[in-house]
Every structure is written in C-alpha cells, then in structure tokens.
Structure 1
Amino acid sequence: MRSKAYVLVFDGLADWEPALAMCQIRKSGKLEIVSVGFSKENVVTMGGFTICPDIALDEVNVDEAGLFLLPGGDMWEQGGSDAVRELLGRLSSNGVPVAAICGATLEVVRAGLTRGVRHTSNALGYLKAVLPGYADEEFYVDRPAVADGNLITAGGLDRIEFAYEIVKRLEIFDEAEAGELYEMFKNGVVPARYMA
C-alpha cells in the first residue's frame, strides 16, 4: 500500500524548498511523512535545523512509497549519490512519483528519469554546465515547475509551484483547492472561506 511520502534529508539540504509541500501532505493525512537519511545520524540543514532521519536510505520500502521528494542542496553539484540513483530507478520502475527541486534535478537527470519526460531545473544552462553530457534538452521546459507522468521538477526559486504540482499529482486537493493554495501562498490571496 502506498502510504508514505519519503523526503531525503542530508547535511546542507535547502530546508525551505520542500516545506510547503510536506505541510500540505501531512495536513491531508493521505500519506505519512518519513524523513530518509543516508544513515540515521542527525543532519543539519542550510537553515541550521537539526533533523534526525526516521530511516536510512536502504530502509525505503518502494512498495509503500507514494512519493519520493529530493530537496536541493550543494551535494547534488558534487556528483550526487549512486545509492540515490539506484533507488530512483527502482521507484520509477514501480510508478512512484519522484519530485526534485533545485540542484536535486541534477540527480533525476543522472538517474535517467528525464529521458523522454518533460522537466525543468534552475535553468537549461545550469543543467548543461553541471552535467556536460546532458542530452534531454528537447524535453526541457522553461517553467517554474513541471509535472510529467511520475516526475515533478522545479527550479530552486519555485517552491510554491513545486508544492502546487505535488498536491495536484497526489490528488490531495481538487483543482479548485489546489489553485486556491497556489494563489494564497504565491500572491497573498486568502480564500473567501477563510474570511468568514
């Protein structure tokens, strides 16, 4: 049963990037948020928060995964992780949505998840500069966030669009509610139902 939203946590992760999506997933009660570390050792985020991972990477149960989310962080520009790429391949083969933002988009490219799949990142030039062998340019979309099948990608400045695409893909809200969420967090438009 797909009951877990796994979120990779590591030293230097950009903690603000997955926060809104994780909040909406948790509030919905549809999936349990599970933090995944490379080990169970504490990690410290870019913002200085200390997180104790719930499980280690090798404990991820692909059959229980309803989402695997990769936040940005400098580690992705240093070559990423073979273990993460192997897991991403298994998740993708099992139809699990994978969401990557900012530098984590490099890892989904390395894992081959962008082959024939529309995606975005911080910029096309960013992908080409960091990954000289990047060959999926024809599927690159210059938008803040892109969802195509089971892949959701976003640029590092686009955490609200990222959350919007995730909640739509997971069907946490209907289209109208997802739109309200976007307008509220992006443009400060509070839905009328909250004003009563």
Structure 2
Amino acid sequence: MNGSVGKPVHLAVYDTLADWETGHTTAYLARAGYGIRTVGPSREPVVSIGGLRIQPDLALGDLRPEDSSLLILPGADLWDASDDLAPFARTARAFLDAGVPVAAICGATAGLAREGLLDDRAHTSAASFYLAATGYAGAGRYVEADAVTDGGLITAGPTEPVAFAREVFRLLGVYEGEVLDAWYRLYHDSDAEAYAVLQQARAR
C-alpha cells in the first residue's frame, strides 16, 4: 500500500444513484487514509436507488479539481432520463483538463460519452450499443473489458464494481502488483488464497 495519501476523493451523489457500484472503491480508499467527500447538485439531500438519504458535503459548484485526488461518478437512472446530471459530466471534463483523474461507472459513462470525453479514449460500459445510443463519436475506442483506464479516465459497467475499484486503486497507487491482484481475486473470485497475501502485506 502506498503510504502517501493526498487530497480527498470526491464521490458524486444524486437522486437515483446506484448504491452498489462504488462501495468497494470508497470503503478501501477510506481504509487507505483518503478522505471521502460527497458532492451533490446542491447541499440538499439526495436519495439513492436503494432509498438511502445522503446529505452532500458540498455542492458541485464549489468543487475545484485542484482540491481533489479523484472524482467518482456512479451510475443513476437520471443519466438517461434527463439532462439533470450534465453538469457533472462538464465537471469531469474540467478535472481531466486539469490532470485530475475521473472514474465513471454504468450510466455515468453515457453522460461522459454525450460530453465527448470518450471520443478519444479507450473505454468500456454496460454494452457497446448502450453507448452507441448516445450518438457519440468514440464507438471505435470501445473495449470489451471489465474496466478500462485511459488518459486519466476509468470506465466500467454496472456489473463490475470490483474491477472498477481495482482500477482506482491502481491509478492512485493504493495497492500495487501482487497485492492489487490478490485484492481483486479475493473480492471478485472469492479466492481464499488471496486473503493470505493481503494479510502478509498488512503485516509489513
């Protein structure tokens, strides 16, 4: 594990966000020492798909790339139901332009596609035809993979929260090499042998 922890990680929260998609990521980033701050459209509470009521720590308009280590964008029904979350995609552009990474999963990848952020980066999502429906110009860069990192941007589909977390940990240097591989094998494949590798790493 990287012993140097920097600025907070910012988790976008909005109505209908998919609870299950970022739990591995935020839990283990917090264990690694990162502060997790939630960012909503405003400071008003939002409600997830699972009915969780979340009070954002700050409003999107107050978020600056220079204050963050990473912006995480979960999926949500609203990504495809309206343009309400388009400001989050625009913020993702500002982050990437500033050299600060962004991680998007499920419906958030469609929002980034509409913003043009997937046109020139290798990426993945729930399915290629799902992103094609946005009319974006990046179909040729679509990769059939559990999660993809390119140009400071991580993408994954809704069934790959563990692979999504793995890419975040790799990008931020939270876990590396055999430890990163063991973490993934434990939580994705239920590989009991991987647990011993993680225990040895914690004991160092």
In structure 1, what is the equivalent of residue 79 of structure 2?
Answer: 76
What secondary structure does 2:11 align onto?
A: strand
Deviations 1:84-120 (CA, angstroms, capped at 9, x unpaired)? 2321221111111110001110111122221221000
1:119-158 → structure 2 map (5 Å cutoff): 119-129=123-133, 131=134, 133-158=135-160
Name the count of aligned residue pairs.
Answer: 193
Equivalent residue for 1:96, pick from 97, 100, 124:
100
Equivalent residue for 1:5, pick from 4, 9, 17:
9
Equivalent residue for 2:63, pick from 36, 55, 60:
60
The one-letter amino acid of 1:13's match is L
The one-letter amino acid of 1:115's match is D
The answer on whether the counterparts of 2:126 and 2:156 sit within 8 Å (CA) in structure 1 is: yes
Deviations 1:158-187 (CA, angstroms, capped at 9, x unpaired)? 111101111001100122111111011011
What secondary structure does 1:152 align onto?
A: strand
Q: Which runs of 5+ in 2 are unaligned?
A: none
Q: How many Å separate the matches in 2 of 1:116 and 1:174?
A: 27
What secondary structure does 2:20 align onto?
A: coil
Identity of aligned residues (%): 36
What is the CA RMSD across the aligned residues, in angstroms? 1.8
The answer on whether the counterparts of 2:86 and 2:111 sit within 8 Å (CA) in structure 1 is: no
Q: How many Å separate the matches in 2 of 1:150 and 1:90?
A: 12
Q: How many Å separate the matches in 2 of 1:107 and 1:92?
A: 15
1:12-91 → structure 2 map (5 Å cutoff): 12-29=16-33, 31-80=34-83, 81-91=85-95
